[in-house]
Chains A and B, each alone.
Chain A
Amino acid sequence: MPGKLKVKIVAGRHLPVMDRASDLTDAFVEVKFGNTTFKTDVYPKSLNPQWNSEWFKFEVDDEELQDEPLQITVLDHDTYSANDAIGKVYIDIDPLLYSEAATVISGWFPIYDTIHGIRGEINVVVKVDLFNDLNRFRQSSCGVKFFCTTSIPKCYRAVIIHGFVEELVVNEDPEYQWIDRIRTPRASNEARQRLISLMSGELQRKIGLKVLEMRGNAVVGYLQCFDLEGESGLVVRAIGTACTLDKLSNTSAFLPACNSPSKEMKESPLVHPPSHGCRSTHNSPIHTATGSRLTQNFSVSVPTLIYTGMGSGSAGKEGGPFKTLLRQQTQSALEQREFPFFTLTTFPPGFLVHVGGVVSARSVKLLDRIHNPDEPETRDAWWAEIRQEIKSHAKALGCHAVVGYSESTSICEEVCILSASGTAAVLNPRFLQDGTMEGCLEQRIEEASPPGCGFCHIPYDELNMPFPAHLTYCYNCRKQKVPDVLFTTIDLPVEAIVVGKGCLIQARLCRLKKKAQAEANATSISNLLPFMEYEVHTQLMNKLKLRGMNALFGLRIQITVGENMLMGLASATGVYLAALPTPGGIQIAGKTPNDATYDQHISHMQKKINDTIAKNKELYEINPPELPEEIIGSPIPEPRQRSRLLRSQSESSDEVTELDLSHGKKDAFVLEIDDTDAMEDVHSLLTDVPPPSGFYSCNTEIMPGINNWTPEIQMFTAVRVSRLSTINPTNQTLNKNFNDLCENLLKSLYFKLRSMVPCCLCHVNFTVALPEDELVQIAVTAVAITYDKNQALQANKAPTEKSQQRASTDNEEQLQFPLELCSDPLSSQPFSPAKEVLEGASSHTGIPAAQRVLKSHSGSWFRAGTSPEIDRCNSWIELIKLKAQTIRRGSIKTTTSLEKASPLAEGYLRHRSVPSCTNSTVSVVKMTPLSFLPGAKITKYLGIINMFFIRETTSLREEGGVSGFLHAFIAEVFAMVRAHVAALGGNAVVSYIMKQCVFMENPNKNQAQCLINVSGDAVIFVRESELEMLPVQPSTAAPQPTSSAGDVTT
């Protein structure tokens, strides 16, 4: 009996009138946990009952404590007929199960009914007494902390990052059970809510067990999703990163650690002595003499769809026998792991050594009824397959790990697309195992590559590239090779040197598909996927170039399947990395050069494109200073090609020939306008309107180039459902409609938030669903943060000045951030044996015939080895590159003093003013999809919030139609999240995410139903201004520079 759960029902307020005759309610409460139920007395004739119940005590296993939600039902007593339910409150008591989180849950909870929504509030107090023999039987995993945050949480330090944990549980969906035909919608909804709550609890417990097995104590980047597979069942699955975390208990110690990025970025060079920058271990492809840390850079073998965007260059080569040789020598900490994946997107400094590029895999599956819920092997096997593929892709890129890893599904009828993606990377093993090798590592750190560019350096062998790519010497350190474009799924590393500001870049795409059944449907979908990926990639590349940028962060590609179409939506944040080369322009080429008017048109378009690029460079302040020749390192890169080739291809039937044409050795980045489709493509490139002045947007945690946030934030969710109404839809018209839909939505957001200018929309997260024929649903969650314009100007000036200072080797600069000191002495030694061995290797044997066709047409991409008839699985790897100037991210010293000035003081006042009226008003709970709150420090994590709600109506018109219905529901979900956080004693939710919003309507029947699943971390934050009184801790007192910088979320 390891736990005692105690519940007290205090009071209710604003209850609905249940008795029409008296206009009052005779309310009582049922408190249920597991199979035990207690009841309060009936409080007669009141809408504001005061029950003041005794403590209801449940004596239960900790396993039960983890799985079961506490279920509180408010009812209206009726002497003559059945008691009427008013509504329910589900309370997840997990936060009470580990010592560092909340100790009591106490507060007003909205009473929720799936048909009527919120109906009054109830005041509840919940406590748990845990006994000491906890964890003896290891069926439970009480004590393992869960975080949605995809970075090491503030006020913790990562001792070890163990790695990937995953689990899934399946069950029948109550909505599809036979009993559903005879029960009320309310009963059905409640059964579903309860089941999912139970399954989430079980899932979390099982993951916790795995973490304990790995000797970890926490899961970071925990992402739990539901697959509503309809007839075939309900899958709840979760992934995360197991860690051993240390709480930074000393207040002064965590002070620097818990800084919001704005401050952190400014302070870090000051706080951490010179060695700070050198943490990343050098790990270039041609650097082999590093003993146990030897990586598998050369293991390039798996044939796969690789698309780089570079038309020219040599084809990939295979590692062959040499690879095997190296493998044998390799003893990476990751080697033993089944899946060296990390769901983190932000890392402690030095953790990320090199980034290879985006790896992703998709698989189309036919759903089948899950016969035995206790044996979820099929689903497990599906995911295992995909993960295996991701792993091999990473290897192909010379990387031993995948970071920023995530998984998703899209389901339509019985077809399901499983997707996984991440960023191939080489990691510093220091964090991955116990500190035994700490000593030898410290040494190597000295020779590490510079922090600002190290992650850009290619992890694979230049002569053994998995795909053709154009490499140059790093524009920052001049020692290592870098690609000319880089795509990643992670956040921008804090130490990255960026020029100008970033911006949200989206690729949008529709593809019509014939309605089909089962196998045929799955086959046609899997046939379409590679074309979509190619197109999405092309769009991203073009849009990136159009903005004069050279890297994408936070890339998320969502492919959604509907009855008669597929949709692709890719979002990422474009930036200009100083380490990568300046991107070339875009050239347009016409097919019929003799036609004068046509030529004129082409040149007009060209001019427009050039103008746009110039305008964007100005808008995003991309003006990398030209490096004086003398400081360019000895291996002067070959004259930069002005432009490279990237074809915009249409999907038309003459694909094959077109691909052939494109395959030339053109040394230009050319968009060929060979038909109206291509014309449309170019037009659509130019239709993306930049945000209105004063606005920036990005889908990463913070906006590169802005670092002076004020505490004013506004999190929001916007949902639109539109009919892509065309009588004879074509891909082009659908594309246009979809594009307009997204653009209009963004425009509408900018308008709504105009009062917050100057501001940035951060973590803009689009989700697309196709609920019905021709209906597209887009849901956006993001946070708008106001920044201080004056300080922004100041900070913007800094980079340029700094870079100039750096060019003249300014002493002070070096002390702060010694880029020059940490160049790698070994980098210039070519590893000649590798070249020879690899030269001979060639094996594209794994590529199936079908894929080879594609490959032969476009030298730049090939498809993964999957047997199409069984698996309909395909995947691709992206990898991109660039070059640039040495620009320092502007710091720091100049702005620190300003930072403490007005905005914070204002925030302080604002914050103060709130508690003064808490007597009568509800306490304010902030919500944000980011892992931090600007101008504030998170002092405590109270536990994970993971909530699932269903709302249904049979009076849709009366509730204001679909918009009225959903508006109210989303507001209710926010309210319930806030109430739970407040009851835990928190004042904010960070890393908030709406994972699912499934909306269905039947206007003819006046009905609608919606399911929403949200999660996040409940926290307590304190305004920085309130902490200022505390003594500022010198940098050395931080327990570990790693942890403090780990908090630097980007």
Chain B
Amino acid sequence: MSSDLDVFVGNTTLIDEEVYRLWLDGHSVAEAVARRLRGGVLEREGTSVAVLQSDTRDHYRTFQMLERLLHAPPRLLQQLLFQIPPERQALLVQRYYAFDEALARELLGKKLSKGTKKELDEVSARTGVGIRSCRRQFDNFKRVFKAVEELRGPLAENIQQLFLLDYAAIVFFANSRFETGKRRLQFLSFADFAACAQSMMGHWSQGALGEPPDPRAPEAAEPDGDLPKSFLQDLKELKVLVADKDLLDQHKSLVCSALRGKISVYNELEANFKALSRALVNVGGKLTHARDVRDFFVDLVEKVIEPCRSDKWSPGDLRLFLTHYTAARHQALWERYMAAITACLLRMYHD
């Protein structure tokens, strides 16, 4: 005796967190049932496989109907079709847009195009994230990216409003297309990059202008996902710091005199100062050209982090150095630039 039709509809929509997880992970109904069985529901609840199947199918149908609404979270709050308590709604959105860091790390900086989507099979194999889940997460990235692309105002806030969560890092990376896949960058995790993105947006973006402590200033002229062109243009002026020999020497002496005796790698610092300074300044100067932007993290690693590491700088040494290196010059532009760079380097300086 087979049930052709089998539905259960509650006035308050039932959400089973376990089944939601299985659905998000991209399992089919049959796989989900198998996993639930392994979880021991049967023994706990003394029910039958048929009941479990029926229950799973019900939840899957509900999720499929909800998915359309999840694509625009604010609609989920306004819709009348499903009566879901607010805390459950929040949970639904949060889980739906949550991403596997391994996957996000793979996708960072890649163009969210059809081509990339086709490569998801490999990504799935590499990261161990189910292919269906990969596709959903990819689509999430893309959806968020697309939705905020046209918007004015602070990126993080826009995303927060539209999707009720923090997605900014991914969008920022997708927007700026930083290279993150190179082998020498493999030691960096998604969290590292996300933190960097946050610092960069916090210090450099349009929203950060005006009153520096408030990164959410309302007026903004261009999409927040891009770094403001005027700022990048201004950064070129900083090149004089390394191009002008006098300035460079002056800078070096200021920093060295401040650090003498306070830093264990003083000799190495003195020897490498010019190279380091050149690297730090040039990274910023290159940001105007899209092609050079890609190399931002590569340059930082190759020209700052790796030399320091080979000279056995401790993180404390690096912090001290960067603090004094920045403080040696009083210029708003310089401080704004170095604030993000310092934060990024400190975050990235690990094994």
> Does B250 have its Cβ within 8 Å of any Cβ on chain A?
no
Mask: chain A, 231-255; 1 = CB below 8 Å from B; 0 = not: 0000000000000000000000000
Which chain B residues border A978 with CB–CB below 8 Å? 11, 80, 83
Q: Select one of B13, B45, B52 contacting A692, CB under 8 A.
A: B45
Q: Flag if A963 contacts B51 (CB, 8 Å).
A: no
Q: Select one of B4, B5, B8, B14 contacting A748, CB under 8 A.
A: B8
Q: Flag if A975 contacts B80 (CB, 8 Å).
A: yes
CB nearest neighbor in B for A961: B5
Q: Select one of A718, A749, A926, A967 contacting B11, CB under 8 A.
A: A926
Which chain A residues border B13 with CB–CB below 8 Å? 971
CB of B67 to closest CB in A, whole Å? 12
Q: Flag if B81 contacts A721 (CB, 8 Å).
A: no
Q: Flag if A716 contacts B7 (CB, 8 Å).
A: no
Q: Flag if B4 contacts A751 (CB, 8 Å).
A: no
Q: Flag if A108 contacts B86 (CB, 8 Å).
A: no
> Does B102 have its Cβ within 8 Å of any Cβ on chain A?
no
Q: Flag if A962 contacts B11 (CB, 8 Å).
A: no
Query: How many residues in B have their beta carbons less than 8 Å from beta carbons of A?
Result: 41
Which residues 8-41 of B sit at the A interface, judged by CB distance below 8 A? 8-14
> Does A456 have its Cβ within 8 Å of any Cβ on chain B?
no
Which chain A residues border B75 with CB–CB below 8 Å? 14
Q: Flag if A722 contacts B3 (CB, 8 Å).
A: yes
> Does B79 have its Cβ within 8 Å of any Cβ on chain A?
yes
| Given the contacts A744-B50, A974-B9, A721 and B4 also touching, CB distance less than 8 Å | yes
Which chain B residues border A682 with CB–CB below 8 Å? none
CB of B104 to closest CB in A, whole Å? 28
Q: Flag if B80 contacts A718 (CB, 8 Å).
A: no
> Does A215 have its Cβ within 8 Å of any Cβ on chain B?
no
Which chain A residues border B46 with CB–CB below 8 Å? 692
Q: Flag if A118 contacts B4 (CB, 8 Å).
A: no
Say whether chain B's binding surface is mostly helix, strand, loop, or mixed: mixed
CB of B194 to closest CB in A, whole Å? 28
Which chain A residues border B2 with CB–CB below 8 Å? 722-723, 725
Tell me, in angstroms, the Cα distance from A722 to B50 when the chains sit together: 13
> Does B116 have its Cβ within 8 Å of any Cβ on chain A?
no
Q: Flag if A920 contacts B80 (CB, 8 Å).
A: no
> Does B64 have its Cβ within 8 Å of any Cβ on chain A?
yes
Tell me, in angstroms, the Cα distance from A971 to B9 when the chains sit together: 6
Which residues 747-799 of A sit at the B interface, judged by CB distance below 8 A? 747-752, 754, 775, 777
Tell me, in angstroms, the Cα distance from A744 to B3 when the chains sit together: 11
Mask: chain A, 972-1013; 1 = CB below 8 Å from B; 0 = not: 101100110000000000000000000100000000000000
Which residues 700-734 of A sit at the B interface, judged by CB distance below 8 A? 714-725
> Does B332 have its Cβ within 8 Å of any Cβ on chain A?
no
CB nearest neighbor in B for A927: B11
Tell me, in angstroms, the Cα distance from A108 to B75 when the chains sit together: 14
Q: Flag if A747 contacts B8 (CB, 8 Å).
A: no
CB nearest neighbor in B for A783: B11
Q: Flag if B9 contacts A720 (CB, 8 Å).
A: no
Tell me, in angstroms, the Cα distance from A979 to B78 when the chains sit together: 12
| Given the contacts A108-B80, A747-B51, A718 and B45 also touching, CB distance less than 8 Å | no
- Please report the number of residue pairs spanning A and B whose Cβ atoms sit closer than 8 angstroms: 136
> Does A565 have its Cβ within 8 Å of any Cβ on chain B?
no
Q: Flag if B83 contacts A966 (CB, 8 Å).
A: no
> Does B267 have its Cβ within 8 Å of any Cβ on chain A?
no
Which chain B residues border A974 with CB–CB below 8 Å? 9, 11, 83
Q: Flag if A963 contacts B45 (CB, 8 Å).
A: no
CB of A510 to closest CB in B, whole Å? 12
Which chain B residues border A741 with CB–CB below 8 Å? 1
Q: Flag if A748 contacts B61 (CB, 8 Å).
A: no
> Does A381 have its Cβ within 8 Å of any Cβ on chain B?
no
Tell me, in angstroms, the Cα distance from A885 to B51 when the chains sit together: 41
CB of B162 to closest CB in A, whole Å? 13
Which chain A residues border B113 with CB–CB below 8 Å? none
CB of B85 to closest CB in A, whole Å? 8
CB nearest neighbor in B for A972: B81
Which chain A residues border B81 with CB–CB below 8 Å? 110, 118, 971-972, 975
Q: Flag if A960 contacts B1 (CB, 8 Å).
A: no
Q: Flag if A718 contacts B1 (CB, 8 Å).
A: no
> Does A121 have its Cβ within 8 Å of any Cβ on chain B?
yes
Tell me, in angstroms, the Cα distance from A677 to B7 when the chains sit together: 33
Tell me, in angstroms, the Cα distance from A720 to B53 when the chains sit together: 14
Tell me, in angstroms, the Cα distance from A108 to B78 when the chains sit together: 10
| Given the contacts A722-B3, A724-B1, A747-B51, A13 and B8 also touching, CB distance less than 8 Å | no
| Given the contacts A722-B1, A741-B1, A922-B83, A717 and B9 also touching, CB distance less than 8 Å | yes
CB nearest neighbor in B for A776: B1
Q: Flag if B78 contacts A720 (CB, 8 Å).
A: no
Tell me, in angstroms, the Cα distance from A971 to B13 when the chains sit together: 9
Tell me, in angstroms, the Cα distance from A920 to B52 when the chains sit together: 35
> Does A657 have its Cβ within 8 Å of any Cβ on chain B?
no
> Does A740 have its Cβ within 8 Å of any Cβ on chain B?
yes
> Does B48 have its Cβ within 8 Å of any Cβ on chain A?
yes
Q: Select one of A737, A750, A914, A925 contacting B1, CB under 8 A.
A: A737
Q: Flag if A963 contacts B78 (CB, 8 Å).
A: no
Which residues 53-78 of B sit at the A interface, judged by CB distance below 8 A? 54-55, 57-58, 61-62, 64-65, 74-75, 77-78
> Does A924 have its Cβ within 8 Å of any Cβ on chain B?
yes
Tell me, in angstroms, the Cα distance from A717 to B12 when the chains sit together: 11
Q: Flag if B80 contacts A748 (CB, 8 Å).
A: no
CB of B47 to closest CB in A, whole Å? 5
Mask: chain B, 200-225; 1 = CB below 8 Å from A; 0 = not: 00000000000000000000000000
Tell which of A714, A722, A751, A927 has the most Cβ of chain B within 10 Å.
A751
> Does B351 have its Cβ within 8 Å of any Cβ on chain A?
no
> Does A60 have its Cβ within 8 Å of any Cβ on chain B?
no
Which chain B residues border A970 with CB–CB below 8 Å? 7, 9
> Does A968 have its Cβ within 8 Å of any Cβ on chain B?
yes
> Does B99 have its Cβ within 8 Å of any Cβ on chain A?
no
Which residues 815-858 of A sit at the B interface, judged by CB distance below 8 A? none
Which residues 272-291 of B sit at the A interface, judged by CB distance below 8 A? none
Q: Flag if B77 contacts A920 (CB, 8 Å).
A: yes
> Does B334 have its Cβ within 8 Å of any Cβ on chain A?
no
| Given the contacts A110-B80, A723-B2, A748 and B7 also touching, CB distance less than 8 Å | no
Q: Flag if A962 contacts B80 (CB, 8 Å).
A: no
Q: Flag if A721 contacts B3 (CB, 8 Å).
A: yes
Q: Flag if A714 contacts B61 (CB, 8 Å).
A: no
Q: Flag if A719 contacts B5 (CB, 8 Å).
A: yes
Which chain B residues border A963 with CB–CB below 8 Å? 5-7, 57, 61
Q: Flag if B7 contacts A723 (CB, 8 Å).
A: no
> Does B266 have its Cβ within 8 Å of any Cβ on chain A?
no
Which chain A residues border B55 with CB–CB below 8 Å? 748, 751-752
Tell me, in angstroms, the Cα distance from A740 to B51 when the chains sit together: 12
CB nearest neighbor in A for B8: A718
CB of A516 to closest CB in B, whole Å? 26
Tell me, in angstroms, the Cα distance from A724 to B48 when the chains sit together: 20
> Does B82 have its Cβ within 8 Å of any Cβ on chain A?
yes
Tell me, in angstroms, the Cα distance from A138 to B10 when the chains sit together: 42
Q: Select one of B4, B9, B57 contacting A716, CB under 8 A.
A: B9
Tell me, in angstroms, the Cα distance from A89 to B74 when the chains sit together: 24
Q: Select one of A725, A752, A967 contacting B65, CB under 8 A.
A: A967
Which chain B residues border A722 with CB–CB below 8 Å? 1-4
Tell me, in angstroms, the Cα distance from A47 to B120 when the chains sit together: 34
CB of B12 to closest CB in A, whole Å? 6
Tell me, in angstroms, the Cα distance from A966 to B7 when the chains sit together: 7
> Does A34 have its Cβ within 8 Å of any Cβ on chain B?
no
Minimum-distance CB pairs A-B, first 6: A721-B5, A716-B10, A970-B9, A962-B5, A967-B7, A715-B11
A residues engaging B (CB < 8 A)?
Answer: 13-14, 108, 110, 118, 121, 692, 714-725, 737, 740-741, 744, 747-752, 754, 775, 777, 914, 917, 920-922, 924-927, 960, 962-964, 966-968, 970-972, 974-975, 978-979, 999
6 contacts between A and B (CB under 8 A): A692-B47, A748-B8, A752-B58, A924-B85, A960-B64, A967-B7
- 11 extra interface residue pairs, beta carbon distance < 8 Å, beyond A751-B51, A967-B65: A716-B11, A718-B9, A722-B2, A751-B45, A751-B47, A925-B83, A968-B65, A972-B81, A974-B11, A975-B80, A978-B11
